[in-house]
Structure 1
Amino acid sequence: MEKAKISASQLFILMVMFELGSALLVPLAIDAKQDAWLAILLGMAVSFVLLLVYHRLYLYYPDLLLTEYIQKILGKAIGSVLAFVYILYFMYDASRVLRDFGEMLLAFAYPDTPLFIANALLMLVIIYTIRKGIEVIARSGELLFIFMYVLAVAGFILIISSGLIDSKNLQPVLEGGLFPILKVVFIQTLYFPFTEVIVFTMIFPYLNNSKKAKVTMLCATGLSGINLIITMLINVCVLGVNLTARSQFPLLSTVQTIQVANFLERLDVFFMLALIITIFFKICVLFYAAVVGTANLFKVKSPSRLSYPLGLIILFLSITIASNVQEHIYEGLKVTMFVLHIPLLAIIPPLLL
């Protein structure tokens, strides 16, 4: 671990940015149709239980990374294997988010640019940031957090003033009963994005006041959950359930419909900036966790040296995980949930505790 410290407010900002990340981009919980907002709300509420599990593990080992205390709990042999699995998971998750970024950029701004080039440009910036350490990542978050929220509030006001909101699209509430919503909660919204914050167990030891970890974690998840609920409410109100479900990136489709006083329109590029900021921080956090975890597991003296090889692996993985967008989305919402998210985020941590 590097000799660095971050404050509770910096941790809060990083967690909010991380959870919004790619979740703002996709039609989150749309399998629950017009009750998507309710599925996100319940997913957030249930995730608090698992967040308290992560926090309790941190209290037992306040100075150790997740990859270190797994070895203490399970023994060197099994612990090392599981620690390596978590490192691979962080790298895989980072590559998925990077792919989301590339697909968004190609769909809305650069249709003729190869996916590799778009992903590589962002990856270069991320590798540079990771080499500077966790303090620089946290300070960058403080700078860009305000800018992102100004964009979000401006967008909300513009959508309202455009007269696009049709609240009838949210009716009927609980059309199919509670079961379809609970199904979406336990196979989707609980894990993406809320309990993905298990990655912060690799960052908690850098916190300068360990007593604030619990409140920071719960407040950050609460704020990002409210933001995601508002986003999905707006998407469904403006586009309707069918269009939201069919749209690859519903938030940008919603923003494209803004038209104020016949001259303020085509603001999707403006809001892509906010999405790129949140995606940048999500990849940074996942990548940083993979770098410090690998350095710790394999006793590498200088963790920053690992940023280039691991960065290249994430970059190539982002290109090869799926041959097209549909396959990428299917893999993320169906396959990854059962193979990786449920065991690594919901089953193993309580067993460790």
Structure 2
Amino acid sequence: MEKAKISASQLFILMVLFELGTSLLLPIAMDAKQDAWLAILLGMVFSFVLLLVYHRLYLYYPDLLPTEYMQKILGKVIGSVLAFLYIFYFIYDVARVLRDIGEMLLTFAYPDTPLFIANALLILVIIYTVRKGIEVMARSGEIFFIIMYILALTGFILIVCSGLIDFKNLQPVLEEGISPVLHVTFTQILYFPFGEAIVFTMILPYLKNPKKAKMTMLCATGLTGINLTITMIINLSVLGVDLTARSQFPLLSTVQSIQVADFLERLDVFFMLALVIGGFFKISVLFYAAVIGTANLFKVKSPSQLSYSFGIIILFMSLTISSNFQEHLHEGIGVEMFVLHIPFLAIIPILLLLVAFLKNRKKQKA
């Protein structure tokens, strides 16, 4: 680990920017149709349980990275293998997020630019950021957090002023009962974006005041959940269920609809900045976790040396991960959710906590 410390407020900001990331961009929870906003709200509430699991593991081993305490819990061999799998998971997730941001830039701003160029430019900036360390990343987050919320507030005011919102698009509420909403909550939203906060277990040891960790994580997830719920309500109210579900990037389609006083329009390029900021910090945090975890697992003295090689791997993985964007989305909602997200974000942490609890109980008795 580098000798760095971040404050609780900086952790809060990083978590909010991370969780908003690509979840603002993509059509999440649309299997619940007009009740998608309710699925997001429930996903936020139930994700508190996962956060408490992550936090409890941190309390057992406050000075250790997960790559270290996995070895203490499961033994050196099994723990090392599991730690390596988590590092691979972080790298794979980085590649997916990079592909999301690259596709958005090509769709709305640079249609004639190759995906390789867009992704390469972004990953170069992220490599530079990660090499500077977690403190620089956290301080950058404080600046961009303000910019992002200014853009969000401006967009909300413009959408309201343009008279696009029609709350009838949200009706009927629970048309098919609560079952579809719960299904989406427990198979999608609980893990993306909220469960992905497991990556912050790699950052919690840097926290100046460990006592504030739990409340900071819960508050950050609560704010994110409320923001995503409001965003989904606006998307559904403006576009309707069908258009929201069919759109690759519903929020930008909503912003494209803004027209105030016959001259203020086509603001989607302006609001792409907010989405790039969210994506940038999500990629940076995941990238940093992969680098610091690998350095810790393989005893690399200078973690920053790994940044360039990881960046090249992630860049080419983002290009080859799927042949087109529709396939990319299908893999994210279907295959990845059940093969990676559910085991790595819920099942394995709960099992780790159970074993850690039993081990610590035996020590206390002894």
Same fold (TM over 0.5): yes
| 2:255 counterpart residue number | 255
| 2:86 counterpart residue number | 86
C-alpha distance after superposition, 1:296-334 (max 9, x if no partner): 011101000000001111111100000001000000010
| 1:318 counterpart residue number | 318
- How many residues matched? 353
**Structure 1 residue 182: Cα displacement:** 0.6
Identity rate, percent = 80
Q: Does 1:239 align with 2:239?
A: yes
Q: Does 1:176 align with 2:176?
A: yes
- What is the 5 A alignment of 1:2-17? 2-17=2-17
**Structure 1 residue 86: Cα displacement:** 0.2
| 1:57 counterpart residue number | 57
**Structure 1 residue 346: Cα displacement:** 0.7
| 1:336 counterpart residue number | 336
Q: In structure 2, what residue type is equivalent to 1:50?
A: L
- What is the 5 A alignment of 1:1-353? 1-353=1-353
Q: In structure 2, what residue type is equivalent to 1:206?
A: Y
SS class of match (1:299): coil
**Structure 1 residue 259: Cα displacement:** 0.2
C-alpha distance after superposition, 1:131-180 (max 9, x if no partner): 00000000000011001100000000000000000000000000010111
TM-score, with length taken from structure 1: 1.00
In 1: Cα distance, 2:131 partner to 2:330 partner: 33
C-alpha distance after superposition, 1:257-315 (max 9, x if no partner): 00000000000011000000010000000000000000001110100000000111111
| 2:361 counterpart residue number | none
In 2: Cα distance, 1:235 partner to 1:17 partner: 20
SS class of match (2:21): helix
In 2: Cα distance, 1:146 partner to 1:189 partner: 26
| 2:356 counterpart residue number | none
Q: In structure 2, what residue type is equivalent to 1:259?
A: Q
SS class of match (1:23): coil
In 1: Cα distance, 2:196 partner to 2:188 partner: 11
In 2: Cα distance, 1:93 partner to 1:267 partner: 29
In 1: Cα distance, 2:291 partner to 2:216 partner: 24
In 2: Cα distance, 1:19 partner to 1:248 partner: 19
In 2: Cα distance, 1:42 partner to 1:151 partner: 26
Q: Which runs of 5+ in 2 are unaligned?
A: 354-366
Q: In structure 2, what residue type is equivalent to 1:188?
A: Q
SS class of match (2:37): helix
SS class of match (1:165): coil
In 2: Cα distance, 1:217 partner to 1:67 partner: 20
In 2: Cα distance, 1:274 partner to 1:345 partner: 27
Q: In structure 1, what residue type is equivalent to 2:186?
A: F
C-alpha distance after superposition, 1:100-148 (max 9, x if no partner): 0000000001011000100000000000000000000000000110011
In 1: Cα distance, 2:307 partner to 2:264 partner: 42
SS class of match (2:136): helix
Runs of 4+ with >4 A deviation: none
Q: In structure 2, what residue type is equivalent to 1:149?
A: Y
In 2: Cα distance, 1:2 partner to 1:85 partner: 22
RMSD, matched Cα:
0.4
**Structure 1 residue 350: Cα displacement:** 0.8
**Structure 1 residue 28: Cα displacement:** 1.0
In 2: Cα distance, 1:325 partner to 1:28 partner: 15
